[in-house]
């Protein structure tokens, strides 16, 4: 039996998003609640627990769901989705933490000095701010790129006027009050401040990256010597807490 | 999918795609193949074969898929399908994550099973018409030819309402009032077009969300982007429209410089049309399977026929 207040706290605002997708926004609760809820919905859908709901992409307060248009339409897919949201179980996996070595500045992070100047901080103080805190992976941005909370800086970091056609795999970029770890080379309009020598993406198993939303990344500043030594090592070997 | 249907494969079986260039394949065994899409012509040892029809390719014969004069992509399916590595449920190459196989001259592609040598009087004639099942309620299946034929003029692409349509006020109408021109910086992330774009009239921050392929993004620089398979999340952009699944098949054939005209449809119409197409594809597959099975019973008797 579902209590009415329970149902209300799981409410999703669902709208159509093309001929075979829905967009569902969590409408009440704290930011943290809504984020947890949309990711819990996505996890169950991506585990293929519901015939006809094929995949889901969760971000902050929204989950976008792909349904099978040959067996469902928007109406019954929406009903199915409300059913998923009203029957959420606690997440069954622990959050894991990865310690990520990053070479800041120089060729690996050509925008570090500009960002530091705009913040009124010496570059080493900026690096200290970027490395001092463990940060939660909120969602994926593109091609396995981890979107993280923070960094805590005096001002919003502007995007580059001249976006780069490509930043290498392992790049660490920041904009606004968010940062990204790029699993693969990709175009980027964000400020490039550093790069990890680790191999983040892998073309095997059932996910492109060893981390998932809800896991935690902690950056550690390294020098060029360590960068060369660690080059190509796999990120999964830098798991801190093995559950 | 039509190429697969015509040789009796699963619709999502691996097949070959070629963009812009000519493709030559030499069979080392006996195969049944089909070619669909933008190819200017299909030839077996320089004798013309028919686009969007299954035909037999004997060991030693060379299949030539002509470079398209219009349009962009052609597809080659082989009965029994080809071997290809799979990752996350797809064999499609993804240059962004570095997955998949791009064929080079001299490469060998393996087929899944050795087909019985086919030498059937019916192959080479129009035995499986992809539009023969249109009576089932669908429109004729696109062989790519209709899109390609339109590629010099404007290509009509269906869109359904976007979840943020209201944020563009009356400027959303601009989507349907004039042509958009496809620009050269298009790729698997998105197809970019220039033209008079809708403008957001309702401001306010939108948190980034996932998007389906086909979502139309308006970055505000006189360009719009139809996001595609290699898309990321929205980066806070509002979405005024979404290209239908069938509309994406149309866009797959447009080259830079092509003129695109959007047409508004409701999502239930889009689903209805998609289902009719699927029904026609499945009927085509069943017809092909039946004919190929019927043939293989007589394979030894017919093997001397030439």
Q: In this model, does residue B140 exceed pLDDT 90?
A: no
Angle between helices A74-86 and A31-46 (to 10 degrees): 120
Cα–Cα distance measured from residue A180 to residue A111, given in angstroms and rounded to the nearest whole number: 14
Chain B interface test: which of A12, A19, A39, A64 (most B C-beta within 10 Å): A19
**What is the predicted pLDDT for the residue at B153?**
67
Average pLDDT per 10 consecutive residues for chain A, totaling 243 residues: 46 96 94 94 94 96 97 97 87 85 98 96 96 93 93 90 92 93 94 98 93 95 98 93 61
Give the HSE-up count for residue A91: Cα atoms under 13 Å, Cβ half-sphere.
Answer: 17
pLDDT digits (tens, 9 = 90+) for A33-51: 999 999 999 999 999 999 9
Query: Which chain B residue is nearest to residue A186, measuring alpha carbons?
Result: B96
Is the model's pTM score more than 0.80? yes
| Predicted local confidence at residue B291, as pLDDT | 81
Closest chain B CA to residue A14: B163
Choose the mutation target among B210, B212, B272 for the interface with A, i.e. most A CBs under 10 Å: B210
**A17 to B215: CB separation less than 8 angstroms, yes or no:** yes
pLDDT cut 90: percent of chain B above it: 62
Interface check A208 vs B, CB under 8 A = yes
Check CB contact under 8 Å for A145 and B242.
Answer: no
On whether the CB atoms of residues A88 and A40 are closer than 8 A, the answer is: yes
User: Which candidate from A19, A62, A201 shows the least CB-CB separation from B207?
Assistant: A62
Q: What CA–CA distance (Å, rounded) separates B281 from B276?
A: 9
In this complex, do B244 and A19 lie within 8 Å of one another by their Cβ atoms?
yes
Sheet architecture: strand order including B55-57: B16-19, B73-78, B31-37, B55-57
Q: How many contacts (CB atoms, under 8 Å) link A and B? A: 110
Closest Cβ–Cβ partner in A19, A63, A144 for B245: A19
What is the pLDDT at residue B205? 78
Strand B259-264 to strand B154-161: parallel, antiparallel, or no bridges (unpaired)? parallel
Packing angle of the helix pair A74-86, B267-297 (nearest 10 deg): 100
Q: What residue of A is the nearest CA neighbor of B97?
A: A184
Tell me the ipTM for this assembly: 0.90
Q: Residue B287 carries which DSSP code? A: H
Q: Which has the higher per-residue pLDDT, B117 or A61?
A: A61
Give the tens place of pLDDT for each residue, A182-206: 999 998 999 999 999 999 999 989 8
């Amino acid at each position: 039996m579902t209590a009415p207040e329970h149902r209300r706290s799981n409410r999703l605002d669902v709208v159509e998003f093309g001929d075979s997708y829905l967009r569902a926004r969590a409408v009440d609760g704290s930011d943290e609640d809504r984020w947890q809820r949309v990711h819990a919905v996505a996890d169950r859908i991506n585990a293929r627990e519901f015939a006809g709901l094929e995949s889901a992409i969760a971000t902050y307060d929204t989950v976008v769901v792909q349904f099978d248009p040959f067996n469902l339409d928007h109406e019954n897919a929406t009903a199915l989705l409300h059913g998923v949201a009203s029957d959420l179980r606690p997440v069954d996996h622990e959050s894991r933490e990865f310690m990520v070595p990053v070479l800041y500045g120089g060729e690996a992070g050509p925008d570090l000095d500009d960002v530091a100047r705009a913040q009124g901080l010496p570059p080493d103080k900026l690096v200290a701010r970027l490395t001092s805190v463990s940060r939660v992976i909120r969602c994926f941005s593109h091609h396995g790129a981890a979107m993280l909370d923070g960094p805590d800086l005096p001002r919003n970091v502007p995007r580059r006027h001249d976006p780069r056609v490509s930043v290498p795999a392992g790049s660490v970029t920041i904009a606004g009050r968010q940062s990204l770890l790029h699993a693969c080379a990709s175009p980027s309009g964000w400020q490039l401040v550093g790069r990890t020598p680790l191999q983040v993406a892998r073309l095997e198993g059932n996910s492109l990256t060893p981390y998932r939303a809800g896991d935690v990344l902690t950056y550690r500043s390294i020098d060029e010597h360590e960068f060369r030594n660690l080059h190509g090592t796999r990120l999964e070997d830098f798991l801190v807490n093995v559950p | 999918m039509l190429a697969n249907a015509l040789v009796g494969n699963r619709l999502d079986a691996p097949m070959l795609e070629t963009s812009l260039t000519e493709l030559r394949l030499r069979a080392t065994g006996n195969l049944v193949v089909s070619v669909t899409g933008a190819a200017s012509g299909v030839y077996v040892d320089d004798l013309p074969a028919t686009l969007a029809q299954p035909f037999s390719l004997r060991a030693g014969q060379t299949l030539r898929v002509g470079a398209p004069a219009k349009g962009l992509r052609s597809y080659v399916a082989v009965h029994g399908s080809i071997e290809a590595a799979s990752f996350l449920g797809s064999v499609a190459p993804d240059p962004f994550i570095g997955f998949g196989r791009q064929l080079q001259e001299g490469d060998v592609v393996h087929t899944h099973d050795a087909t019985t040598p086919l030498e059937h009087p019916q192959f080479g004639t129009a035995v499986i018409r992809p539009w023969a099942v249109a009576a089932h309620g669908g429109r004729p299946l696109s062989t790519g030819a209709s899109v390609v034929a339109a590629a010099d003029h404007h290509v009509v692409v269906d869109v359904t309402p976007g979840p943020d349509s209201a944020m563009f006020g009356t400027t959303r109408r601009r989507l349907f009032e004039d042509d958009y021109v496809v620009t050269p910086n298009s790729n698997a992330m998105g197809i970019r077009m220039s033209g008079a774009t809708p403008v957001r009239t309702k401001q306010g921050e939108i948190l980034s969300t996932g998007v389906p392929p086909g979502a139309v993004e308006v970055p505000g620089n006189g360009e719009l982007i139809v996001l595609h398979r290699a898309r990321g999340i929205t980066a806070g952009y509002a979405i005024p429209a979404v290209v239908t699944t069938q509309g994406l098949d149309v866009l797959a054939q447009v080259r830079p410089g092509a003129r695109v005209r959007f047409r508004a449809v409701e999502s239930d119409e889009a689903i209805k049309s998609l289902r009719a197409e699927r029904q026609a594809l499945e009927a085509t597959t069943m017809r092909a399977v039946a004919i190929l099975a019927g043939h293989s019973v007589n394979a030894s008797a017919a093997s001397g026929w030439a």
